[in-house]
Every structure is written in C-alpha cells, then in structure tokens.
Chains A and B, each alone.
Chain A
Amino acid sequence: MKMSTLFLPLTAILLILGLCACDGNRSATDDGTRPAFLQIGEFAVNRLSAERIDVRDGAGRTLVLIPRDAPMPTGVDPNRVVRIPVERVVAYGYFEVATLLALGVLDETLVGVTTPQDRWYIPEVRRGMEEGRIAFIGDASAIDFERLKLQQPELVLTWDPSIIPLLNTLNIPVVVTTTPQAMCLGARMSFVKFLAPFFHREQEAEAFFNRIDDTLRDIRARTAAAPQQPKVMWGDVYEKRVMVEPGNSWVGELVGLAQSNYQFRDIFGASCIEISVERFLYSGQDADILFTYRDRKSGATSKEALGRLNALIKDIAPLKPEGRVYAPLPHYHQSGDKLDEILFEISAILHPELYPGYRLRYFDELPDTDPVITKDSAYDHF
C-alpha cells in the first residue's frame, strides 16, 4: 500500500476532527443563560440539573449543592452535601469575606471569622461583631471549636484543610478556597461565580464580574498608547527566602495587560512561589517598580528600612532614589470586593502619567528614608 493512499485519508480525518474541535466553547446550558459547566481556574461549577450543582473546590474536592428541602442524594458523602441557599457561613480569610460582601450576602449569612474585631476594616463585619451576629471563633491556627459549634454554621470557607476532619465529625461541609496554582486574573474576577450558587446570587456575581471586566477594558484602552513600559516586580525577601507572585498570578497578568513588563512573567506556579535569591536580584537590577508583600507594621516604612531589613536587596533598582516601591495599606487585603478599584490603582501606579491627579487608596509609595519624627510630629499622630 502506498504511503500517500494512507496519508491522505488520515490527514482528511484529522482535519475534519480539527474543524469540529474549533466550534468553540459551546457548552450546554440548563436555562439558556448560564453555562452548564464553568471552569474558574482550579475551581469549577457543574450544573447537572435544576436540583443539583456539583462544585469543585480548591483542593479538588467535589461538593454537591442541593435545595434545602431536597432529599439527600445517594452515593454522596453527607459531609460533601451543601443545602442551598446557605444561611450561616464561617469564613477564614479576608478574601472569602470580601467575596461574600461582593455577593451582597455578608450581613445575612456571615456568622464567624478568624480575625478579632479590632483588625477588621470592613464596616459590615465590625458592626456584625458588635451586634453579636458574627463571632470571633479564634485564630486560624487555634480555632475554638466549641464557639464554632455554637454559631451553627452550614458551611465553612477556609484556606486551611486541617479543620476538615473535625468539621466532618460535626457534619459541617467545608469549601477550600485556595488552590495549588496561583489564581489567574480570570479566576480572580470569576471567583464570585464559584461562590454565587451557594447563595443563589448568580446575578450579583455576574454584575460584579462585568464591573471588573469594564475596568479591565478601561485599563487596556488607557494604557494602549502608554509612552513607556515600566518593569515591575511583586514579591519580597524574608531572610534568605524569596517569594514572588508568578507570571500566572492575577497581578502578573494585570501588569502585562496594563502595557508593562512583569519581571517574573516566565515563572509559573503557586502564589507566593519561592525562587532563588539570584533570580530576584537579577530581575531587580533593571526593575522600575517593586510591590512588596510587607506593610508598615512589618517594617515597610521606607526604601531604606526595607534595605535594612534585608541587606541582600538594598542594591536592586526599585530601592534606589529613581525607583519606586509600594506597600499595601492595612485595608488592602480586606478589599477584594473592590477589585475594580484595586486594578485601577495598580494601573495608575504603573502609568502615573495616564492617571493625572490620582490619589492612592490601597497602596503606599515608600519614601527613600524614614521620616524623622520630631516631638511635634510625634504629637500629630495622636
């Protein structure tokens, strides 16, 4: 048999299959508006029927969402069944709480947090704690399970899977909200769509997503003709351990989208991924902007202070007088519901010339040296 007689039909079959494959992301819909299957980074929502939604959390666990009055599905671990809409939630992290706020369910559903009242910047949480609706259930590393039980949560949102065994004994389902790989920009802005089915808040999630999408369009349009592309790094050195945001993280993608060069765009992996010191220093040689993980409380008061904290990094370009260093303000981590504003601010930091008069709200530009505190200025703090 000649080679060409085999080759032609095979190539034709492959072409046809290839063309069939190119009919795009046409996934079935249950009601014509929502996709039956939605992948959000490592999370997923699979609407099997009007009565059942399967979701995959950050740890790859499948949870089954069913209406509150529906019979228990067979063949499913009861600890992985969540009755929706959920009415009482305990949330470990700021990100989860901010997402509840974005969905507009915080006031009605949040009953427990792992941060004491004085460290909250979200008025709704502070108020809830004052009124006794929301309880501090202990630090994440030392949960008071008696207190947790008293709050009678129907769902716990956590980044720490170590509580799962104990919550299983209490028959409380758990959703792990962190993933082994860093969340990309798409996953970050779509995360609300993952939590929305738990509360029947799909419309709110869609509105939130559209708001962020509009902001990204605006950033793209504004920065399209940016006169220069600053070089940006996001990370820090802790003693001899270097942690950075990889290129597949939402910040890495945002920097690229805003016509800037992310120095770690080739790095792929988890959020806060550890890399070698040499690479950090090499990338820092010609970087313009550094976003540090540290805030004022952890010593990021000035470039000089950062250099003192870690002598290894004192010679990188952003720490020089012509460079720029930004530290998050304390409320930044609790502002996930204002993701559009954060994205906008980052873009304004990258291209100040395109955002004249913009005042920073989530980040702080570090001065070269710590301000000298005189007797008078010290009094000003009070």
Chain B
Amino acid sequence: MKTLIIHCWHAMASIRLTIILCILLTLNAAWGYFCLHGNASLYMPMNDMGLIPWAKTYGRSSLLLTAWFFLLLFLLALLVCNTFTCTTDRVYRLLRAGKTTSPMCLAFKLAPHLMHYALIIILAGYLCSYLFSQVLTGQTLVPGTHLSLPGAKGQVTFTSFAPEYYQGQRLDFFTDHILTPRAHLLLSSENSTREAILTATRPVRFQGYTLHMIDFAPKSLGGMNMPTRIDLHIRKDPGVFLYLSGMALFSIGLLFYVCEWILLKEVNKQSV
C-alpha cells in the first residue's frame, strides 16, 4: 500500500505531467473562448447561484457549450494535485539542503515554489467563491429606503445620491453623463452607525458582507426622468480572502524570482 502511495505521489509529481496539463489547459481555454463568445448569458448566473446549482441547470442543459468548462475544472484539479506534489517534493529537498545555505539565498530559491503554492491558493479561493458564496441579487434601493442583511442585525439605508458628472467636451455623447455614481449609505448595526460611500468600483464592507453597485439610474443629468435608484449585489464570499492572498503571495514570489534571476542568473549568463 505504501509503495502504491509513493508510486502515485511520484507519478503525480511529474513535471512532464505539468507540461501536458498546461498544453491541455491552453487548448481548453482556447476552446472555451469560442464557446463563451456570444453565450455569456449561459455563464453569468454562475456568479450568483454558485457552481453546483449552475452545473445542475445551465451547465447540464447546454452541455455542448459548457463541456469545456467541466473539462477545465477536471484539468485544474489535476494541475493542483500535480503542483502540490511536485512543489512539496522540491521544497522538502531544498529545506533539507537549506541548512548550509544563507537565508537570503534560500528565500530566492523558494520563490518559484511560493508562486506554485500561491497558484493553488488562488484556485482554491476561486473554488470556494463559487461553492460557498452567499449572494443576494437584484437588491434595489431608492433614496430613503433600507434593506436588512440576512442573518445579521445590520441595516443599510440609502440616504442620498451625489454623482460626479463627466467634465468637458472630450466625448460629445458623454456630456452630462454620470462618471462616478456616488451613493451615500448609512450602515447601522446594534451598537453603531456609520456612513459609507458606495461607487460602481468601490464596494462597501459591512458585517461580513460586501455591497457592490451593479447598476444605477439615472445615467445622466437629464436622465429621461428616471427615478433615482441603485441596484446592489450583496455577497458573503469566503473565497475572496483566499484568492487575494494567493495573488499577493504569487506577486511576492514573482518579485523574488525576477530579482534572483536578474541578479544572479543574468549576471552569470548561465547556459540554457
């Protein structure tokens, strides 16, 4: 049994498997592009309903257009296993040999492995996001109205709309259009009340939820007499922290790798 596990571990840790998986993922993503093109409405609901319900409905009902996505999941799962085993093998060897090298040198040597682990964290974050997110879609507020967050004792009140308009004549059609839809919110919990400004690119965090402005009206100063409103998506997404930390870790690893590569390898002009 032990030998079988070791055998599997080594098979999974093969860098050749990495190469094959990367080639397959390249082809799969290219295939996905053609399936997604013009069929976005098939995939968009995944963002709020989550992966499993989506797979059971949209995914299953249009398999010809979604098969690439299921393959992508399968290939990514293999890639994660492969990356984990391969990286762990190498890190183990590095750490064992690391007793004789300087900490800086070890840090440089660990940089690529940090990127590999970060990739796993990013993918895990995305998976968590699509599996465990709690999303409230289509929450519309008009000035003076409020909504309560589910399971929390918080209340969000839309107090006023103070948009910033497009200035100047650079784009004729954009004159008097709203450039920054700025919504003033009052966030009340049991103990405190605070004000927050929500814009289309700046979500507001409150009691574990994030409030995202998906749409707003009116769009311009005249605005065809549209009543003022903001449409929110409210999300509790446990994957965000994971994938954002993964990105940060990957960036650190990348920085170390590039530094090491420029400082050491490029100077020494090692052979290829």
Contacts and interface: CB of A to CB of B under 8 A. Distances in A.
Query: Do A and B contact each other directly (Cβ–Cβ < 8 Å)?
Result: yes
B24 A44 contact: no
Contacts of A42: 41, 44
Nearest to A1: B14
B61 A39 contact: yes
B158 to A, nearest CB: 9
| Interface SS of chain A | mixed
Interface string B10-32: 11001011011100100000000
Q: What 7 A-B pairs have minimum CB-CB distances, sorted nearest first?
A: A21-B67, A61-B138, A162-B229, A240-B172, A59-B138, A165-B145, A141-B225
A303 to B, nearest CB: 24
Contact of B137 (A23, A46, A59): A59
B219 to A, nearest CB: 10
B140 A25 contact: no
Interface of A: 1-3, 6-7, 10, 13-14, 17-18, 21-25, 27, 35, 37-39, 41-42, 44, 46, 56-57, 59-62, 141-142, 160-162, 164-166, 176, 179-181, 239-242, 248, 268, 274, 277
B142 A62 contact: no
B38 A17 contact: no
Contact of B24 (A14, A62, A176): A14
B27 to A, nearest CB: 9
Given A6-B14, A39-B62, A61-B137, A46 B67 contact: no
B61 A17 contact: no
B217 A162 contact: yes
B141 interface: yes
Nearest to B175: A240
29 contacts: A1-B14, A1-B17, A2-B16, A3-B19, A6-B17, A7-B20, A10-B21, A14-B24, A17-B74, A18-B67, A18-B71, A21-B70, A22-B64, A24-B63, A24-B64, A25-B61, A37-B57, A39-B57, A39-B58, A56-B45, A59-B140, A60-B48, A141-B227, A162-B142, A162-B229, A165-B140, A165-B147, A166-B145, A241-B173
Query: Which of A3, A21, A35 has most chain B Cβ within 10 Å?
Result: A21
Interface residue range, chain B: 35 or more
Contacts of B141: 165
B173 A181 contact: no
Contacts of A176: 138
A248 B42 contact: no
B88 to A, nearest CB: 18
Contacts of A268: 38
Contacts of B38: 248, 268
Contact of B45 (A14, A24, A60): A60
Contacts, number: 122
A332 to B, nearest CB: 20
Contact of A22 (B67, B71, B145, B231): B67
A310 to B, nearest CB: 13
B101 interface: no
B5 interface: no
Interface in B147-172: 147, 172
A37 B61 CA distance: 7
B59 to A, nearest CB: 10
Contacts of A22: 63-64, 67
B228 A162 contact: yes
Contact of A60 (B60, B137, B225): B137
Nearest to A8: B20
A1 B61 contact: no
Contacts of A179: 41
Nearest to B41: A42
Contact of B11 (A1, A37, A60, A142): A1
Contacts of B263: none
B64 A6 contact: no
Contacts of B217: 162
Contacts of A180: 215
Contacts of A41: 41
Interface string B34-54: 000010111011001100000
Contacts of B224: 141
A222 to B, nearest CB: 26
A165 B67 contact: no
Contact of B63 (A23, A37, A38, A142): A23
B226 interface: yes
